[in-house]
Structure formats: structure tokens, C-alpha cells
Amino acid sequence: MTAALCALADEPAELIKLRQQFHDRLKQEMQPWLTRYVGELEKLEKTLATSGRLEEALVVKQERLKSNTVDAAAEKKETANPRQAAELQKVMEGTYWIVFDPQDEKRETMRDVYEFRANGIFVNFFHTKKQYKWVASAASRIKVEHELGTFDIKVDWNSGKGEVGYSFQEQRNSLVLVNRPASK
């Protein structure tokens, strides 16, 4: 298959699941190293501050604060904090979200995978695999127009989690962000 055809092909759900497992394991393995790094940054910050090198201590402090999460240390990507619908629309483009039953605390069984494409195209992979329209309706809300009714999705971009409710059924599901595309 040529590179152009591969770029057009949808990613298989198995690839998305495998990628999520890889990132979860990476975060788990990185945690001891991150804790040590942050501890060393704290020591350096104190040493610089006590020796009167306050500007340098402030730079080290900023690095320490940025590195307080595994995501920041592993990916070093800027985290957006959408304050309005247009900002959420932009950061959601190109993202994949795994859907779980909220009772599945270990997240062992995926219910679906959602993709938010550019130009307001939404795809749910496990069910219809059709394309639907989506739009950010607020800083943390998305509406998806589905053939059965409207999805109301609430997302917390910073935590990478969300919740989806359906107008056509009682069931609610939890969402977990799989990827954060590079800043545009």
C-alpha cells in the first residue's frame, strides 16, 4: 500500500487500543524517573535561590512546574485550555477518544472509539462507521448530530476525560483522550 493510500485509510480499532496500552505503560514506567527529576529540580531551585541567583531559580521553578505530570515530561506538548467553543473546536480536531462504560473502572472493555476530524466530521468506529457532523457548542461541550438523535459530549481537555450522553437512550459513557495532536 502506498503512503498516500495509508494516509487515507482509517486506523483499525486494534491499533488505537494498542497505542493506548503503549502510552499507558509508558506513563507507568516514566513515573519513577519523573519523580526523581522533579525532586532534583526542587533541589537545584533551592540552591540557586539561596545563592542569590533568583532569575535562574525562577527558570528552574517553571521547568519543575511544567514537569509535574508524566504527560508533560513524556510529550512536552503545550496543553490547551479552551475558554470558548471556537477554541475547543480547534483543539478537538484530529483527536481520538476511547469510550468506556463508567462502571468499568479498570477500562478493560472499549465500547467505541470516537474520532473528531477537521471540518466538523465525527466518526464512531465500532458502530456505524459513518460520518456525522459535530460542533463545539461551548468551552467544554460538543454536539454530534447522529441519525438516531443528538450526542451531548462534555470534555475536560486538560484531564483528557469526558462523558457522553445520548438523547435516544439512557446510557452514559466515559471518554478518555488517546492522543493530543501537536499544536497547530
Domain shared by 100 and 134, yes or no: yes
CA distances from residue 156 to 60, 90, 145, 165 in whole angstroms, order as listed:
28, 14, 20, 15
**Do 93 and 36 belong together in one domain?**
no
For 129: left if phi > 0, alpha if psi spans -120 to 50, otherwise beta; the answer is left
Do 57 and 106 belong together in one domain? no
User: Are residues 134 and 69 located together in one domain of the fold?
Assistant: no
Q: What is the pLDDT of residues 127-153, one digit of tens each?
A: 667 889 999 988 889 999 888 888 889
Distance CA 175, CA 184 (A): 23
One domain for residues 150 and 118: yes
User: What does the pLDDT read at residue 149?
Assistant: 81
Q: What pLDDT, on a 0 to 100 scale, did the predictor assign at position 75?
A: 46
Do 38 and 122 have their domain in common?
Answer: no
* 46, 117: one domain: no
Which range marks the domain in which residue 133 is found?
A: 85-177
**pLDDT category of residue 78 using cuts at 50, 70 and 90:** very low
Among 51, 75, 99, the domain-final residue is: 75
pLDDT at 51 over 90: yes
Q: pLDDT for 87-123, tens place per residue?
A: 888 888 888 888 888 887 777 777 888 889 888 998 8
CA atoms within 13 A on the CB side of 138: 7
Rg (CA), the chain: 20
Q: Answer yes or no: do 54 and 101 share one domain.
A: no
pLDDT, one tens digit per residue, over 147-170 is 888 888 998 887 888 888 876 556
Residues 21 and 61 in one domain: yes
Whole-number Å distance between alpha carbons of 54 and 47: 10
Q: Are residues 138 and 66 part of one domain? A: no
80 in a domain, yes or no?
no
Per the structure, the count of domains in the chain is 2
pTM of the shown model? 0.52
- pLDDT classification of 59: cutoffs 50, 70, 90: confident
